[in-house]
Amino acid sequence: MHLFLIRHGETVDNVAGLLAGRRDSALTNHGYEQGRRLGDYLADTRQPLTRIFASPLQRAYKTASLLAAKQSTRDLTVSTVPYLMERDFGFYEGKTNAVRKGPDRERHKKEPGFVDVESKDALARRADMFLDQHLLPMLDDEADFGGAAEHLVAIVSHGILLSSLWRRLLLRLGPKSVTVSRDVVASQGPVVLAHLGGWSNTGFLELSVQSAETDASSRSNTAAVSPAASSEDAVTAADVSLPRSPSVTAIDAVPPQLMTESSEAELPTDQLDTVGDVSVTKDAVDPERSEVEHLRLLAGYHTTILVVNGQQHLTGLKRQRGGIGRAEHDDKQQTMTTFFKRARKD
């Protein structure tokens, strides 16, 4: 399975600096163009998608629709899944983060109808529901066909939810089953698997999840590469089985035992252990045994991180001036080119 975890395009609330969890904030004209460019980029540089999942909020659904429109896959539609909606900010919807984290939080709790921010535990449960009910069953489809029919899946959602989804997926992965792209290491330095960084608008995390047998056969004619080896010396599974994907260095990393969802989001850099070019948390908290037992673990699979927060499609993109780029996108509006062509025709 080949996965793209994609954040939606820029929205009106993004521009205004407002918290928009469940608020159905619209794409700006610039955000629409970001999505259109991503659609072109994926169609030109990757194999055709087989499935697209999206949050039902319009900023994610419209971004996903722009991807679908450029795909050659017959009858490809966008499947909306409520589990993929952004974190609910409750009372703070439509307010700034400064208000949410300001000194008046206790006073806010006394406001009539106050609803607190959705907990990280609730986010994790929604991510698990999506994995177990929608995504992971697709691996069974591939197994039934002996790995011959690979799914290429795009998941278009929101930054906070995507971060939770990645951590919950990472929790399922076996020891020494994650490989990091050489390009990712070169551009970002040491990688903390549980915290790959934020998603920019239409930024994407690209992953390959392969059965160990498929992955081993693709690597059968290649030598293992040590972290110190020259990048020119490496020929890898991704080079063989995934044309036009980034080159991969053979660094086997033990995925960290993830911090509990109620823990702090980040650890100081002095609490990191580096394994090759991959960092894992030293003092991370083991998940509760009861939490792990009910999860479907991906034993026998190898996962490759190919791209983190991919933004190649945005190269050269500039925001339209005069406030046009920041304005809400209207599907009925005409581009300047269309307007003048029609004027000449009339």
Quick one: pLDDT at residue 272? Answer: 34
Decide: 27 and 132 in contact? Cβ < 8 Å: no
The structure tokens listed for 314 are: 């945005």
Q: Which of the following is catalytic: 8, 30, 158, 313?
A: 8
pLDDT for position 331: 83
Cα 122 from Cα 216, distance rounded (Å):
37
Contact 266, 195 (CB under 8 A): yes
Exactly one of 2, 30, 86, 302 is catalytic; name it.
Answer: 86
Is there a domain that residue 152 lies in?
A: yes
Residue 63: what pLDDT?
98
CB 52, CB 154: distance < 8 Å: yes
Strands 178-181 and 248-253 come out as: antiparallel
d(CA 21, CA 18): 10
What is the CB neighbour count within 10 angstroms for residue 238?
24
- pLDDT for the residue numbered 291: 53
Q: The whole model's pTM is what?
A: 0.78
Residues 30 and 15: their CA atoms lie apart, in Å, by 10
328 vs 63: CA distance, rounded Å: 14
Would you give the DSSP letter of residue 22?
S
Q: Is there a binding annotation on residue 9?
A: yes
Respond yes or no: is residue 111 known to be catalytic: no
Say whether 197 counts as a known binding-site residue. Answer: no
Token pair recorded at residue 16: 């205004």
CATH code for the domain in which residue 198 is found: 3.40.50.1240
Q: Residue 327 falls within a domain, yes or no?
A: yes
Is residue 307 a known part of a binding site? Answer: no
Cβ–Cβ under 8 Å, residues 168 and 260? no
Structural domain for 103, as ranges: 2-253+291-345
Mean pLDDT for back-to-back runs of 10 residues, the chain (346 residues): 97 96 96 98 96 97 97 91 96 95 94 95 95 93 73 96 95 87 86 86 96 58 27 28 34 34 30 35 39 73 94 95 92 57 48
Cα–Cα nearest to 179, from 143, 222, 122: 222
59 is in an annotated binding site: yes
219 among annotated binding-site residues: no
- The verdict on residue 64 lying in a domain is yes
- What domain count does the chain have? 1
Q: Note whether residue 53 is domain-resident.
A: yes
- Residue listed under structure tokens 């659609």: 39
Position 26 in a domain: yes
| Residue 334 resides in a domain | yes
Inside any domain, residue 121 = yes
Distance of CA 139 to the CA centre of its chain: 18
Give the model's pLDDT for residue 205. Answer: 97
Whether residue 282 is contained in a domain is answered as no
* 86 assigned to active site: yes
Give SS3 for 80. Answer: strand
